[in-house]
């Protein structure tokens, strides 16, 4: 029918963005963000959340076509709104300090709260801090990072899973008993901890998570969300390292396993952010005693 939305991926001049049909299925004009009451709110301005984003925009698919990706704005900024509600600002990092790449086609254009938080951090998004500089400085900083956040979007699979500096950051998180937050494809970045390492030493071996399923990634080209099949599947690699996926589909499910908090998709952004905020509130409560 002539009024049906096209399932053809949209060429942006270099790569392909999701089809109009797939956007109608996955991109909403507003999020379900809602602030929650927390028993304890952080008041120490030196305590922050370290956010690791991709600086790469295009994923080369199995057929050679390029998928225009980055970090998903809902999965990135709705949790950050909850971090803010818990009393925590964030610092954005990319591997070398190049700008944060976002899936701009997924922006919730009618969401005032998301628009304001993006505006607040616009300078950091354009000029984030460098993971390389952070690790070369032996993690010394006047900022006490209480958690690391790995936002989703297929961009989390670009440049991060094999990044040596991110490997050091993950090991630092585990050794210092800090919190790790990851949503949707964000857990793909955890693969950095296993790069060129004995799989038996993977720090999150035996953990259970919610994440975006490989089985759905396999179907996305059918609706033009991507211009071709995935070059590789992150879930398969994590399972081989001993991580258990709790979900087979996407429903907005979230899970906390020890110091690791995860969510399955953009549908989970609000609940995931709330879960992280409650974990942060509990940590702040313990620190105030």
Residues labelled as active-site residues: 184
10-11/16-17 β-pairing: antiparallel
What burial letters (b/e) apply to 164-202, b meaning 16+ CB within 10 Å? ebbbbbbebbeeeebbbbbbbbbbbbbbbbbeeeeeeeb
d(CA 55, CA 186): 14
d(CA 257, CA 252): 17
3-state secondary structure of 141: coil
Q: Is 39 exposed, middle or buried (0-12, 13-18, 19+ CB in 10 A)?
A: exposed
Report the C-alpha dihedral over residues 38, 35, 99, 229, rounded to 10 degrees.
110
* Of 120, 185, 178, residue with least CA distance to 145: 178
CA distances from 201 to 174, 187, 284 (A): 12, 17, 30
């Amino acid at each position: 029918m002539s009024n049906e939305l096209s399932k053809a991926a949209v060429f942006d001049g270099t790569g392909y963005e999701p089809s109009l049909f797939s956007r109608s299925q996955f991109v909403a004009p507003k999020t379900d963000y809602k602030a929650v009451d927390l028993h304890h709110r952080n008041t120490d301005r030196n305590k922050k959340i370290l956010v690791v984003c991709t600086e790469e925009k295009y994923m080369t698919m199995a057929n050679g076509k390029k998928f225009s990706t980055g970090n998903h704005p809902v999965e990135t900024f709705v949790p950050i709104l909850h971090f803010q509600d818990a009393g925590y600002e964030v610092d954005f990092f990319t591997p070398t300090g190049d700008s944060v790449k976002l899936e701009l086609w997924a922006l919730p254009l009618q969401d005032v709260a998301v628009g304001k938080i993006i505006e607040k951090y616009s300078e950091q998004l354009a000029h984030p801090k460098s993971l390389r500089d952070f690790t070369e400085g032996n993690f010394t900083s006047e900022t006490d990072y209480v958690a690391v956040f790995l936002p989703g979007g297929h961009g989390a699979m670009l440049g991060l899973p094999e990044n040596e500096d991110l490997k050091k950051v993950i090991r630092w998180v585990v050794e210092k008993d800090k919190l790790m937050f990851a949503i949707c494809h964000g857990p793909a970045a955890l693969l950095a901890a296993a790069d060129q390492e004995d799989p038996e030493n993977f720090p999150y071996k035996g953990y259970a998570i919610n994440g975006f399923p490989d089985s759905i990634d396999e179907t996305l080209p059918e609706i033009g969300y991507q211009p071709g099949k995935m070059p590789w599947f992150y879930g398969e690699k994590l399972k081989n390292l001993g991580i258990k996926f709790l979900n087979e589909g996407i429903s907005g499910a979230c899970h906390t396993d020890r110091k690791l908090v995860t969510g399955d998709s953009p549908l989970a952004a609000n609940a995931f952010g709330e879960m992280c905020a409650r974990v942060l509130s509990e940590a702040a409560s313990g620190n105030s005693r």
